[in-house]
Amino acid sequence: MIVTFATKVGSAPATTTLHFGEGLDANEVIPRLWQGAAPPAGKLDFDVLVLAADSNQPPASDFPGVKIIRVPLNDPTNQFYKAEQAPAVQAALQVAQAYLTGDRILVTCQRGWNRSGLIVALALQFLGVDANRSIDLVRAARGADALSNTAFADFVRAFRPTVLTAPPTDKTKLPKLLTLLGGAILAAAAFCWGVGRR
């Protein structure tokens, strides 16, 4: 599944901002995939919440009814620690998989710029968006400070994932497959029963 979106690159950040409780600073990067700053505790209108700031890992009980993905990353000036690269990719893969199932996802870090931008940009690549376009989408949503950590941006540009495919939407395929498998199992059982009787 290749995901395409019409977003003006280089324009001002998206104006859609969600405010829950005391306020949530987040913008929609693509439909159902949001990026933002550290969220306040409370009920969020999302299925999945990614906590990507090493300094902000509140308990799951702060966000009732939301699946939490934890990937505590540092954001040193223009560095990306090798030990944090695999966890970042794994979190991005989980985001892409959740996206393909129809979930609404919020990816956060302290300010909603670099660590969250890294995860979102990598997830977009798993969805078939090329590296430069994924960076452009993140910056269009969150502004010029998004992915300003050059090591993160370079990692995104060098990343070459296998593009995920959407789960089957045709519910008639599974019963047909089961019927075929069932027939094959019955034929194998009949053969084995016949051999065993000789």
Tens-binned pLDDT, residue by residue, of the chain (198 aa):
344 333 444 444 443 344 444 578 999 999 999 999 999 999 899 999 999 999 999 999 999 999 999 999 999 999 999 999 999 999 999 999 999 999 999 999 999 999 999 999 999 999 999 999 999 999 999 999 999 999 999 999 999 999 998 765 544 444 444 444 444 444 444 444 454 444
Cα→Cα distances 191→12, 26, 123, 177, 187, Å: 68, 61, 48, 21, 6
Q: What is the torsional sign of CA 38, 40, 46, 47?
A: positive
Specify the pLDDT at position 15: 36
Contact predicate 67/99, CB 8 Å? no
Give the per-residue pLDDT at 26. 95
**Helix 150-158 × helix 131-142 angle, to 10°:** 140
Which residues face 17 on adjacent strands?
27
Give strand pairing partners of 70.
Answer: 51
Task: Give alpha helix (H) positions in the chain.
Answer: 82-100, 115-126, 131-142, 150-158, 173-196
Task: Specify the pTM.
Answer: 0.77
In the three-class reduction of DSSP (H, G, I as helix; E, B as strand; rest coil), residue 26 is classed as strand
| pLDDT for res 9 | 40
Structure confidence at residue 168 (pLDDT)? 54
